[in-house]
Structure 1
Amino acid sequence: MTAADLFGSPRLALRARLLAGIKAGAGAGLDLLAERLLRMEPVHADDLLVVATVRFVQGKVETARSLLDCALSLSPRHLMVACTLARLGVLTPDVVAALAWHAETSDQAHEMLLAHVAATGRPACFIRQRQLHCAVAPGGRQLRMTWQHLVVRQDDLPASDKVQSWPLPLPEALLGPVDPVVAVDGVPVQSGLAAGRWLRPPRLSGLVEITDDGHYQARVLDMACPERPVAVLIMEGDRVVGRHVSVPPDGAVMLDVLDAPILSFQLPAGAGRVRLLFELTGEPLSLPPATPRAGAAEDGTVDVIVPVHGDRAATQACFDALLGCDPGWPMRIVAIDDRGPDPEIGQFLDDLARQGRIVLRRNPGNLGFVRSVNIGMALHPDRDVVLLNADTCVSAGWLGRLRAAALGSDRTGTATPWSNDATICSYPLANAPTPLADIDVEELDDVARTALAGRTMEVPTGVGFCLYIRRACLDQTGWFDAEAFGAGYGEENDFCLRATAQGWRHVIALDTFVGHVGGGSFGAAKQARINAALAVLATRYPDYEAEVHRFIAADPLGPARRLLDRARLLADGVPRPVLLVCAELGGGTERFLRERIAMLAAPVLLLRPVGGGRDGCVRLCLEVPDRLELNNLSYGDDGDGLAALHEDLIRFGVREMELHHPRLLRVGLLQELATWFPYRAHIHDYSWICPRITLTADKDRYCGEPPVDRCEICVGRFGDELGIGDMAVVEWRQAMASVLAGAGQVGCSTRDTAVRMHRYIPAARYEVAPAEKPALPPAPVLPTRRARGEGVRIVVPGAIGPPKGYQLLLDCARDARQRGLPLTFQILGYSLDDEELCQTGHIVVTGRYAEAEVPSLLALLRPHLAFLPSTWPETWCYALTHVMSAGLPVVAFDLGAQAERLRAWGRGALLPPALPPAAINDALLSLVVEG
């Protein structure tokens, strides 16, 4: 039966009259009332306690003692009964057990136990702050804790003439399942006083409601051990103005906080800012919105709350940085020691606390990140707070700038700085982590401070590694949800979304950077916690994930990251006079660019158009080959973006430009770029005259370069690789002609390329220079030989896609299979579809390779000759160089650079471009003579 069941009952009225009589000294006239209370059904321990008090007043000590014994048998954990018996000197095992049960929440029970040890010399075990203690009388010499005959701990006690209360911490892994046995000088202490489940780290849960008449009702429960008492404090400032203990009824089964007994109380009259805290941990309970919020004015100090669990090196580095620089605003560092596995971390924090450099709170067990944060935020109810991970690194002035961002508007609730690992607030990589070891935190913070001074931007959520929270936002939104988000991850997102619903906004402080190790506290369990948290967030806020993805896609922080990169690049003081313009194409074009950059005498910049095509969104991204970490120099291809790009290029010292490929560059943009600086161009393929780039048509074979009206039909039928849209081929050629004609030089790697381009754009100034100058061995004589009965092995070098002859090679292999030819094609590289080729049974594939591996791979393959099935007039072809340098005889089509180079070499075999697969196979077999 709960207290609520008794209100207004005759039983309560009788108790009240008896207690009033005792207070008035009318003990002799209370017999009838006492007898009536004793005869009420069912019998209650509280009734027996009241009547026993009457008998004491009447001098009937033995009767009182008998009543108390009955009361304790009815309620074996009754605190007042046990304390009363102890005062009478009755220290039976049952009394000691009851006192030990309440030692965590009752100072009176604790004192009684110590008095019992002093009076009897018998040790007693009890739990305080979820840690086992043993009180030992003077003369005790050795303390031993065992479990299943294993010695868990053994201590030699120092000599003392007083009772010693000795802590006996258990390793975290043993908390819960282990029922320890304690012995003093070999004699076991009374058993049953320290069950393992009582030692579990608390998981306190509470629910507070306000009744119509202004009373508060709280239900509180320790979910880790529901049978334990839970004490709640009412705090006004730093003063305790009320204390209530919820004692679960004996034998009650409580699975949820709603099963807990009700605590009823009123807030003190005229109270200001009131908090309700769990006494054991300091965790706050959320009070109903009707709670008064007026109170003392903010003193301006910010509480920087650092929950600490593991990673000693990162933790020490974090506090060294915090304490070693001027934060730019008054702060108090609050460390919450969450009882991690490394005792040296606790010693480190103790030293800082003794020096007065931090305020230290130590949890009574590992409570987890979220509960630790709540404990810290509840310590000073009039201060803004910063939640700071113990694996972060701050720089001078960080707090002042972060606070200025948070106070930038009345409705800003949180502020987050940049970091190397902060999801949407990450830099230098966007939305991705960068190892802390790869950056200089002070340099990046200084760049942010100067390049983006005083600037903020709204974000959909703050990020918890370093989160400034204004107290007004915290008051209105409530504490972090420890029940739902446990040990950490997602709790700040939930808080921010609740705050957003209340009208608060969240910003990134663009002028502040804080380093972050990232993820170390969670270890291998991180992904599981992330998944669980995301599931909760998805249930509570169905639109949240889509909103974050929209934010990432829109990338409003992109311009700010660009300004940071620009400032860092300008700080180098190194001019970069040459700008190379080329989409990322891979293959030989990328190799040419790398070699060109290496050849140039000065550092250069590389402009990459990036996007989905002419009709899609295209960004112009600057790469800095000698500073690849600067990856945010991105500009739109509209008027504002181009103006910013042009201005920055001039700042970076660009004086000339090289145009290497027009892909993804709309005509107007390309023509405007051509007006910015003197430039030269280079021909890597035929994109300047052919929207299909390679002069190929049906089956990706050479088109023969027909009249332009047939080119229009070809592009319409087989596709446009450049994405020129509705523009006619003739218009494209005219536009590109004006660009190439304006170039100081147009580089071509072969004469064939220059002659072919000259037919279309005769006004351009062509210059022929080989893309490379390999040292070639003497040309081998064809035909070559194979052993009798040996199959013919044909190596095919390179990345074999459509214009490189993929379909033709597949058709050749299928013909070889159909006719049973002794012919195997060996792809030195990879293809569009390796599996499809290999299924023919006449093709093998080595996979991607480094250039230095070519000799060893060819030695393994032992080919008889090489074949280039490329079906377009190449402009150079590095793969051809590989096999020529190896001294292999080479077969190719009589097209483009491949034909020109083989003729110059002397004895390559050239096939007609339109030769069918069967004829190609016959030609290859004829070039390898048996015998």
Structure 2
Amino acid sequence: MSSERLASSEQKLSASFAGFGRVVSEEDRLRWREAMSRRAQEAFARGQAALQAGNTSLGLFWLERAERMSRHNPNLKWSVGLACLSAGRISDCLVRMEGLRQDFGLREAAFLEVICLVRLQRMEEAIHRMQTALSRFHATPQTHLLARQIAVAAGRPGWMTASNTDTIFIEVSRPFKLFLDGQECIQGNESGTYDLPKDWRSARSLDVRVGRRHVLGSPLDIRVLTRCESFVEATSDGLRGWIWAPAEPEYSPCVTLWDGATFRAETFAEDVDSDIPLARTKVFHIPTSRVPENDTGPLALRDENGCLLTGAPVDPLVGRLTLGRRGGLPARLRPVKVRTWTPRPRCPRTSPGCAVVIPVYADLRRTMACLRTVLATCPADVSVIVVDDATPEPPLARALDQLAAEGRIVLIRHLQNQGFPISANDGMRAAEGRDILLLNSDTLVPAGWVERMRARLAFTDVGTVTPFSNDATILSYPAVDRPNPVPSLADMRALDRLCQETFKATGKTSCDGPDLPTAHGFCMAISADCLAEIGLFREDLFGQGYGEENDFCLRASASGFRHLPAPDLFVAHIGSVSFGTAGKSLGARNLKILNALHPGYDRLVKRFIDADPLHTTRRRLDIARLIRLAGGRSAMLMVQHDAGGGVGRVVRERSEVFEADGGLALALRPHEQGCSLEDALDDKRFPNLTFRLSEDLPLLLDVLRTVRVQVVEWHHLIGHAPCVRTLHERLGVPYDVFIHDHVWFCPRISLCDGEGRYCGEPDITGCEQCVTRWGGYLGEDISVSALVARSGQELSGARRLMAPSEDTVRRIRRHFPGVIIEAVALEDDATLRKSIRTGHHAAYGQPVRVCVVGGISRWKGYDVLLTLAAEIQKHRLPIELSLVGHTHDDDALMSLGVRVTGEYREDEVQALIQQQQPDVGLIPSIAPETWCYALGHIWRSGLEAVCFDLGAQGERVTRSGTGLAVPLGMPPFQLAMIVIRRWGALQ
């Protein structure tokens, strides 16, 4: 790249930092995700190719790189686990298999977990895991030998595995008996395959015993073995869907149609988007010719356990609706465009009474926990109507029967599973014209919830009310853009009290607040007037759920009803677990239906999210929680940038020390509109403490005074609004400065010009010329002379100045004579040096393995690394380079033979270094570092280090008496030869 093009590129990069913080657009995020995905796919492909060529080590390297680049991809975790097993890294395989079994119930992972435990000689754990696996999954013939060996080791009289093909394989040495729910069904004398009774699926437990002893795998959980995941939707050419049995993926499940006809799904899917690794979904298509011609409404499709397929009942006409083919559609499917509707007049109303409606399907523990909180908090005049949607759990059915017999609930029971919309409607019908409090069975409610919900239904213009919750999309708290932890009962009550107190302090009434685009069905109050005018939930479109309450609210909005939040109420919600892997497909399908029925729905929700009218409420709650956390302790405010890295690590470590002494450590980061206030040790705890500057500055100062900030510690001011530089003055407290880099006198921060060369720290005129040509990174329009003058004043005014190394102290004092700076080392070098293996050489006949650690930018030595790799390749030098980390262009390095692992977490770095089997570490930085955590990683792994003789890195290596600090600018070939002579194999 030419100098001019490079300068232009760097000036654009500099301009992107204008304003407060780093502004990252959705387009930027999308490009980043696409780039990471592409690189991960490329690494995966290289790994697979290497494995197929028989190079397990290289294959595993590439697969692990792909895994780190796509950490939440379970398919990569599976592939890496298999490669680890092949490479003999059994513990690494076990960790991945345990995760896949726990997160996804993956059969193959469950059996591989047993294999790993056996190889690690952890037999007791292997026996336990094999028992669990056989009791839940069908064992393929490849696992029979393993099962036999485990049964012998466990001292069991045999083992068994059942199949959805209505058979069971039993291997025993003596006569056995088979029981279904305790009733004897089969007797046998020898091993073999036996046919199960026709009604075996209706039982819950299958036992095989020899005498009184269970064989391995007994008792079997029939519900888990036979459970199907499925999905169906209407398309332009009929009905399409998929189905599979996770406990026996090779099995072809049977589907029963609305008219009793059946078929088996036998074709493996090629394009089903599933979160489950190794999901072997089987697709089916029911053509239009097989579907009733008339408008007969939704059609029921069931699996062989009698359960509705996810998405059923399904209306075949919806396929035309979602494709925009609206001609000839019945009136019930004609779209109504979302627009601004005229609100209804607000008048007081008298409630006709109230009923709580709770549809129930499964999960005894959560459902009963919900009912306990409801029954303990409902006023005597409020009925609790429970709709049992054909629960497959007899204990749950019995518990509901008991509550009904005691007169504590009104119980409605379906003979077959109908789904949430129908169940909710049946409950609302039974309420007979009263206001409705619709509640999911996986919620926990606090005292007074009924009264607070009903208070907001006191006016004729209110249609629905929804409280805050940990999982309620636009009504979630604390965070709305990521999952929140599910609170315990005690935590829920504490959050609810906080909501009440915070709302009361605002002086607002129950009908104040922004209108919502839609309610959330997890806990939703519906006025009887709204229900009478709008009608019930639609039962013909949304299958088991997702979207029915949104459609209802949009219809209500069209009639002028409002949808209100209840910010003084918090209800705990476990979350969307009802639909398993099909939930993603069902949600996408129903969102398409919603937008087809109500054009503009997506834009309506997006406008609400962009405006975020509930931010102020959530921020009040965060402030209240922060004050409680402070508890009167003294607080320290750490001002830092938003790029993490070494600065973030120092802030975290200093915060840990401060809190260990009884204080509270807070962090202030730049935000695109101002700043964000955080718990320095948990940046996710208070996600709503963002402040627009300068308009929110008085509020920020009030918060900081209330939590008793006693000192402000500057770590980095880049990206911050100018008023942050004077926070300490407004608070009337001292400020300290921890110097992390050379931003105090260098607008380019790193002391490097645009061609990646150390500048040598010229006078101010030379600096001005450099910045004029190459641009700066401060994000503000300030000359070098003005920067130096301002920095001199700020450094002189600080109570305490700290820098990580003596080299940094000398450089800063050279530019700012007279300031007193304390050197505060970030690591204990004396301890680190004890780990170094001095005198180490490469093995005979092997190249010198040189390891670089960290994120390598240009000033961190990217160009040095690139040219060194080129020299090694050109001259075929006996050196292998590896980078435990990443760069802005990994591909260029890898094309020259450098092994680049990709980004890593702190807890991974030592293992990654060891995997490279290095002989020496290289710090290629061409600018003076103020510390160098990478050097600490290298020493901790037992390696000597070679670096250039400048900055903290040169100072520390020289003091260590090990390794080498070579002159800056040394030609790469000469550097390579020094490395070979010093660490090469001894002859």
- State whether structure 2 residue 355 is matched by structure 1 residue 303: yes
Check if 1:705 corresponds to 2:785.
no
Structure 1 letter corresponding to 2:802: G
CA offsets, 1:701-740, max 9 Å, x none? 322223334434544554543322x333433343333332
Structure 2 residue 895 is the aligned partner of structure 1 residue 839: yes
1:807, distance to aligned residue in structure 2 (A): 2.3
The answer on whether the counterparts of 2:674 and 2:694 sit within 8 Å (CA) in structure 1 is no
Map of 1:108 onto structure 2: none
Distance, in Å, in 2 between the alignment partners of 1:651 and 1:400 is: 33
Alpha-carbon distance between aligned partners in 2 of 1:820 and 1:196, rounded to the nearest angstrom: 69
Larger Rg: 1
* 1:892 maps to 2:942: no
Q: CA deviation at 1:874?
A: 0.5
- Counterpart of 1:488 (choices 538, 545, 554) is 545
Amino acid in structure 2 at the alignment position of 1:580: M
Does 2:652 match 1:608?
A: no
Aligned partner (choices 779, 797, 805) of residue 742 of structure 1: 797
Give the match for residue 162 of structure 1.
Answer: none
- Residue 390 of structure 2 is matched in structure 1 by 339
1:807 equivalent in alignment to 2:807: no
- Matched AA of 2:668: R
- The corresponding residue for 1:904 is 959
Q: Which runs of 5+ in 1 are unaligned?
A: 1-147, 156-170, 174-194, 201-218, 227-253, 258-296
Aligned mates of 1:325, 1:822 — CA distance in 2 = 76
Report if aligned partners of 1:823, 1:842 keep a CA contact under 8 Å in 2: no
Distance 1:576-1:624 versus aligned 2 partners, 3 A rule: farther
Is structure 2 residue 374 aligned with structure 1 residue 317?
no
Amino acid at match of 1:814: A
- Specify which of 507, 511, 524 is matched with residue 564 of structure 2: 507
C-alpha separation in 1, matches of 2:402 and 2:654? 59
**How far apart are the structure 1 equivalents of 2:747 and 2:463?**
53
Conserved? CA contact 1:298–1:383, under 8 Å: no
**Distance in 2 (alpha carbons) for counterparts of 1:807 and 1:767:** 33
Q: Say if 2:814 is the partner of 1:759.
A: yes
Change (3 A) 1:662 1:842: same
C-alpha distance in 2 between matches for 1:764 and 1:882: 32
1:434 aligns to 2:489 (yes or no): no
Separation in 1 of the partners of 2:258 and 2:908? 65
Matches within 5 A, 1:439-478: 440-453=491-504, 454=509, 456-478=513-535
Match of 2:718 among 645, 663, 676: 663
- Contact 1:635/1:641, CA 8 A, preserved across alignment: no
Cα deviation, residue 831, structure 1: 3.7
Match status 1:543 vs 2:600: yes
Contact between 2:835 and 2:941, CA under 8 Å: does it hold in 1?
no
Q: Which residue of 2 aligns with 1:645?
A: 700
Q: In the TM superposition, what is the alpha-carbon distance from 1:877 to its structure 2 partner?
A: 0.8
Which residue of 1 is the match for residue 450 of structure 2?
Answer: 399
Of residues 427-436 and 491-500 in structure 1, the stretch that sits farther from structure 2 once superposed is 427-436
**What is the letter of the counterpart of residue 564 of structure 1?**
L
The residue number in structure 1 matching 2:412 is 361
Name the CA shift for 1:776/1:481 in 2 (closer, same or farther; >3 Å): closer
Contact 1:753 1:897 in 2 (8 A): yes
Larger deviation: 516-525 or 857-866? 857-866
CA–CA separation in structure 2 for the residues paired with 1:802 and 1:584: 20
Q: Distance in 2 between matches of 1:405 and 1:852?
A: 52
Q: How does 1:215-230 map to 2 (within 5 A)?
A: 224=299
> Does the C-alpha gap of structure 1 residues 309 and 661 become closer, same or farther in structure 2, counting only changes over 3 Å?
same
How much does 1:589 deviate? Answer: 2.1
Matching residue of 2:651: 593
Rounded Cα–Cα distance in structure 2 between residues aligned with 1:685 and 1:549: 41
Separation in structure 1 between the aligned mates of residue 761 and residue 912 of structure 2, nearest angstrom: 37
SS in 1 for 2:713: strand
Identity of paired residues, percent? 35
Residue pairs, 1:683-702, within 5 angstroms: 683-702=739-758
Residues 772-798 of structure 1, C-alpha deviations (whole Å, 9 max, x = no match): 223254799999755665422222233
Tell me, yes or no, if the aligned pair for 1:300 and 1:330 is still in contact at 8 Å. no
SS in 2 for 1:815: helix
Letter in 2 for 1:462: A
Q: Cα gap change, 1:907/1:303 in structure 2, threshold over 3 Å: closer, same or farther?
A: closer
- Taking the aligned partners of 1:196 and 1:784, their CA distance within structure 2 comes to 73
Using a 3 Å threshold, how does the CA distance of structure 1 residues 668 and 731 change in structure 2: closer, same or farther? farther
Query: Are positions 1:769 and 2:824 aligned together?
Result: yes
- Closer, same or farther in 2 for the Cα pair 1:197/1:915, shift >3 Å? closer
Aligned equivalents of 1:776, 1:749: Cα separation in 2: 16
- Partner SS for 2:759: coil
Q: Which has the higher contact order (CA 8 A, sep 6+)?
A: 2
Question: How far, CA to CA, are the matches of 2:964 and 2:604 in structure 1?
Answer: 61
Change (3 A) 1:358 1:873: same
Q: Separation in 2 of the partners of 1:622 and 1:419?
A: 21
Partners of 2:906 and 2:483 lie apart in 1 by 29
How far apart are the structure 2 equivalents of 1:538 and 1:890? Answer: 61
Q: Which of 914, 920, 923 is equivalent to 1:868?
A: 923
Amino acid at match of 1:415: V
Question: Normalized against structure 1, the TM-score is what?
Answer: 0.65
Which amino acid is 1:301 matched to?
G
Report the Cα distance in structure 2 between the residues aligned to 1:640 and 1:367, rounded to whole angstroms.
Answer: 53
Equivalences for residues 194-343 of structure 1 within 5 A: 224=299, 300-326=352-378, 330-343=381-394
2:929 alignment partner AA? E
Tell me the amino acid that sits aligned with residue 606 of structure 1: L
Deviation at 1:322, TM superposition (A): 0.4
Per-residue deviation, 1:852: 8.2
Shift of the alpha carbon at 1:370? 0.8
| C-alpha distance in 2 between matches for 1:580 and 1:568 | 19
AA matched with 2:571: V
Are the equivalent residues in 1 in contact too, given 2:466–2:519 (CA < 8 A)? yes
CA distance in 1, matches of 2:680, 2:493: 22
Please say which of residues 473-482 and 315-324 is displaced more in the overlay.
473-482
Tell me if the contact between 2:355 and 2:383 (Cα under 8 Å) persists in the aligned partners.
Answer: yes
Q: Which moved more, 1:353-362 or 1:531-540?
A: 353-362
Alpha-carbon offset, residue 530 of structure 1 = 0.4
Query: Aligned partners of 1:851 and 1:844: how far apart in 2?
Result: 18
Q: Taking structure 1 as reference, are residues 670 and 556 closer, same or farther at Cα in structure 2, changes over 3 Å only?
A: farther
Instruction: Answer yes or no: is the 8 Å Cα contact 1:685–1:694 preserved in 2.
Output: yes
Shift in alpha-carbon separation, 1:495–1:196, aligned structure 2, 3 A: closer
User: 2:670–2:721: 8 Å Cα contact kept in structure 1?
Assistant: no
Q: 1:800 to 1:341 in 2, by over 3 A?
A: same
1:354-402 deviation digits (Å, cap 9, x = unpaired)? 2222222223532211122222223345422121111111110011112
- CA gap 1:442/1:681 in 2 versus in 1, 3 angstroms: same
SS of aligned partner of 2:880: strand
Query: Are residues 372 and 220 of structure 1, via their aligned partners in 2, closer, same or farther at CA, if it must alter by over 3 Å?
Result: farther
CA distance in 2, matches of 1:628, 1:593: 12
Q: Deviations over 1:604-629 (max 9, x none)?
A: 23223243xxxx4333222252x666
Q: Count residues in correspondence.
A: 656
Which amino acid in the other structure matches residue 378 of structure 1?
R
**Counterpart residue type for residue 895 of structure 2:** Q
- For residue 459 of structure 1, give the secondary structure of its aligned residue in structure 2: coil
TM-score, normalised relative to structure 2:
0.61
1:621 match = 677
Gaps of 5+ in 2: 1-195, 204-225, 229-255, 262-293, 302-314, 319-348
Look up the equivalent residue of 2:478 and give its one-letter code.
P
